[in-house]
A and B are shown apart, each in its own frame.
Chain A
Amino acid sequence: MMWNEVLGGILMIIGGFFYFLGGLGMIRMPDVYNRLQAGTKATTLGTFSTVLGVGIYYPPFLIKSLIIIAFVALTNPVGSSTLARASYLAGVKPAPITKVDEFKGGEEK
């Protein structure tokens, strides 16, 4: 095996592990805000690692891989933020163990 195949394979396995952690956070976390945090952060890092691993494993794919990484880095946090704000304004309550709610009364419809 060449060095780029070894490095790309290791990066893909790291990305798959972070995808697995995102799925585990979906099951284990108590309310929708914690689930959004776990799912979005873990899958963003997993996408970086996996797609960069594909680009290193097979170098003709490298430019399009960098385009996909830039696209996911721009859109994934925006979607998560929009969904969190929408679910707060729609009246979804946080988990009962939540101590601080800094958004309370911040934006009245």
Chain B
Amino acid sequence: MIETFFVLIGIGVVLSFIRILLGPTSSDRVAALDTMNVMLIGTITVIALVLKRGIYLDIALVYGLLSYLETVVISRYLEGRK
């Protein structure tokens, strides 16, 4: 069952990464990066289940905090640029 999860999320991450490479504007790239960050939070949680180590859940929480901060900071930067 966990193998099916990893196959699906691998396809999703590859599609988001293609959008990061192709995106016409900077906003497209930041949107795709935000989507990929949330996908990686779920993946880190499943890796914590596979390895049976609870410390990876803390890593997922800190990764989510930093990715949210990154999205907001880049958004404010794009907004100020005319």
Binding site for B on A (CB under 8 A): 9-10, 12-13, 15-17, 19-24, 26-27, 32, 35-36, 39-40, 43-44, 46-47, 50-51, 54, 57-58, 60-61, 64-65, 67-68, 71-72, 75-76, 78-80, 82-83, 85-87, 89-92, 109
8 contacts between A and B (CB under 8 A): A13-B5, A22-B38, A23-B15, A26-B31, A51-B45, A68-B57, A75-B64, A90-B27
Chain A interface helix/strand/loop/mixed: helix
B residues contacting the other copy or chain, number (CB 8 A): 50
Looking at the complex, which one of B9, B16, B34, B48 makes contact with A54 (CB distance below 8 Å)? B48
Least distance between A20 CB and chain B CB atoms (Å): 5
